Structure 1
């Protein structure tokens, strides 16, 4: 059901980082962004006594992942939910903790490949971009109804687009003639709005605008801000949270959340850490890990990945910041 280009990013490294948390018989892992199940498949194979809870808001992805993970059906539980709903998902299963949580953020290869979903700027398609087709708001709704200032903010903050205001002005002017319905018209507008010298650098001129619209339609930043603390609270001692982010805003949120729970409030010149002030987490990765060749050549999506991992320490009586 999956196609060859659906290759999980940094697969071996993810398995390696998850290993200490999943080697115990009966360990439970959560793939909070299941997608096509590539990471989960490798983890289920590597840890034959572990169980999986796979979460995705995309019903098509769940169906395809279910087919891929059929050989492990007795150890898998696939859930239609958004990943910030992790506390509810665990409560419904009477679980007070899990051993590992994985996030592989952003749009999936499958969503990009399906033209009718409207995620890709390379094909003319309906301006949809919903990861859950039951959600009411589409990318067309954003383009056709948001005020100028709000469109500018979204393009600037979520797309890191330096010509955000200029693009938003073009959109507002053009939608007065006719509402936006397809990606092809938006791409043509972006070629007109972005100056020619800027179009020659930094990748496709539509990349940042499409990213910003996708994030807004799916509320990805707010969901992530809720999901990371929820994952940190969900793991037990020795548990790990691993996150793969593909754009700087997401990575910054993860970095800050990890730093907050792994930093001591004790002055650095104090010779010892008083009881009750121990940190409850340690960052496992040194900074954000990146993919290298030959993976980037064989899997271009890996070029922008930033991977971070954190571990809850064994209970030592410290205060819980999660």
Structure 2
């Protein structure tokens, strides 16, 4: 069976959000298959610096290097480190836009050997950069309480304790090594719901997020974008589940001064005494794909795009003070 081709989600909306222009410098923090990068490079005579922690991304990037010589660079690393990664490779000027497409890529899901899929048998891995603690390590070594927390908080699984208990009982007989071994254990204790979603979905999501520290990486990436964007530069963040969207929504609201904590009855001089907003919330509400895109690309159904524009206020330093 041939894997489905990778289709960038909300592509037209992301391009519009970035307001791509000739001479601009843009960061694609989650290169993946290069869909956003290619579209940005084709939209204007600009430069794109992409980032990906997956070692296989460098191979996927070669056609773009040939098609856009001198205008495209792919850096190996985590997008959460963009504020230090870019200067270390000679990109010292503020950038005009940052695009982030959060979560696992379709190529990683489709490749059974990467261990992300509960529908295909493969090693229980899930590491985006093929280094560090794997999903098998977590499943076989974490105690029952830690497993339950991971599955509950990151997987949003209501039966997390039941699943964690079943995992601990099963691994006492034999350590988990394969994806389908874990999926079958989960399916034995969690019934298929009316929504038709596979019972293993949420457990696999929780483990994947924990293994790759995806929410922490998103928080670091948002702060990194804040540090490197020029005044007027745009931030476009595409998320695929509520945990990711909540992080992006909270960050943009806080940085744009929309925390809701200041009453309209408070004197202006008091209300204005707080830190100046570093972003303007452009989208205000999340942008969702239309029905046509959802029909053409089922993976787009849960996607949300949030857009913010950088102001000229200094970014907070690591200790929270303005730089």
Q: TM-score of the superposition, structure 1-length normalised? A: 0.90
Aligned pair partner of 1:282 in 280, 283, 287? 280
Counterpart Cα distance in 2 of 1:180 and 1:319: 49
* Paired position in structure 2 for 1:210: 204
Deviations along 1:50-96, one digit per CA (max 9) or x if unpaired, are 11110000011231133245301310111100111101112212514
Secondary structure class of the residue paired with 2:126: coil
User: Paired residue for 1:242?
Assistant: 236
Is 1:31 the counterpart of 2:31? The answer is: no
Q: Which runs of 5+ in 2 are unaligned?
A: 317-321
For structure 1, list consecutive stretches of 5 or more residues without a partner in the other structure: none
Relative to 1, partners in 2 of residues 1:275 and 1:311: Cα closer, same or farther, differing over 3 Å? Answer: same
Note if contact 1:118-1:125 (Cα within 8 Å) is conserved in structure 2. Answer: yes
1:233 alignment partner, one of 217, 227, 233? 227
* Residues 275-304 of structure 1: CA deviation (Å, up to 9, x unaligned): 986533211113111112111111111001
Counterparts of 1:280 and 1:243, CA distance in 2:
16
CA contact (8 A) 1:37 1:69 kept: no
In 2 relative to 1, CA 296–69 (structure 1 residues): closer, same or farther, beyond 3 Å? Answer: farther
CA contact (8 A) 2:64 2:72 kept: no
Between 253-262 and 83-92, the greater mean CA deviation after superposition: 83-92
- The separation in 2 between residues aligned to 1:14 and 1:116, in whole angstroms, is 31
Which residue number in structure 2 is paired with residue 224 of structure 1?
Answer: 218
Cα 1:131–1:320 shift into 2, 3 Å: closer
Structure 1 window deviating more from structure 2 (227-236 vs 243-252): it is 227-236
Structure-2 separation of matches of 1:268 and 1:279:
17
Q: Which residue of 2 aligns with 1:72?
A: 68
CA contact (8 A) 2:255 2:279 kept: yes
> Which deviates more from structure 2 when the two are superposed, residues 211-220 or residues 258-267?
258-267
For 2:84 and 2:40, the matched residues in 1 are separated by 24
Contact 2:226 2:315 in 1 (8 A): no
Counterpart secondary structure, 1:73? coil
Q: Which residue of 1 aligns with 2:77?
A: 81
Tell me whether 1:10 sits opposite 2:10 in the alignment: yes
Counterpart contact for 1:30–1:98, Cα < 8 Å = yes
The alpha-carbon deviation at position 47 of structure 1 amounts to 1.4
- Structure 1 ranges of 4+ moved more than 6 A: none
RMSD, aligned CA: 2.1
- 1:164 paired to 2:160: yes
| Aligned residue number for residue 308 of structure 2 | 310
CA apart distance, 1:160: 0.3
> Aligned pair count?
311
What CA distance in whole angstroms lies between the structure 2 residues aligned with 1:296 and 1:233?
34
> In the alignment, which residue of structure 1 is the partner of 2:97?
100
Distance 2:310 2:180 in 1: 47
Q: Secondary structure at the match of 1:59?
A: coil
Query: Secondary structure at 2:301's aligned position in 1?
Result: helix
User: Residues 86 and 113 from structure 1, CA distance in 2 versus in 1: closer, same or farther, beyond 3 angstroms?
Assistant: same
Please give the alpha-carbon distance, in whole angstroms, between the structure 1 residues aligned to 2:274 and 2:239: 33
Q: Deviations over 1:100-125 (max 9, x none)?
A: 11100111111111111111111111
C-alpha distance in structure 1 between counterparts of 2:239 and 2:67, whole Å: 29
Contact 1:262–1:279, Cα closer than 8 Å, also in 2: yes
Normalising by structure 2, we get a TM-score of: 0.90
Q: Secondary structure at the residue paired with 1:132?
A: coil
**Would you say 1:189 and 2:185 are equivalent positions?**
yes
1:87 and 1:7, CA in 2 relative to 1: closer, same or farther beyond 3 A? same
Q: Secondary structure of 2:70's match? A: helix
Equivalent residues of 1:66, 1:78 under 8 A apart: no
Relative distance call for 1:319 and 1:235 in structure 2 (3 A) is closer
Which residue of 1 is the match for residue 299 of structure 2? Answer: 301
Q: Report whether the alignment pairs 1:180 with 2:176.
A: yes
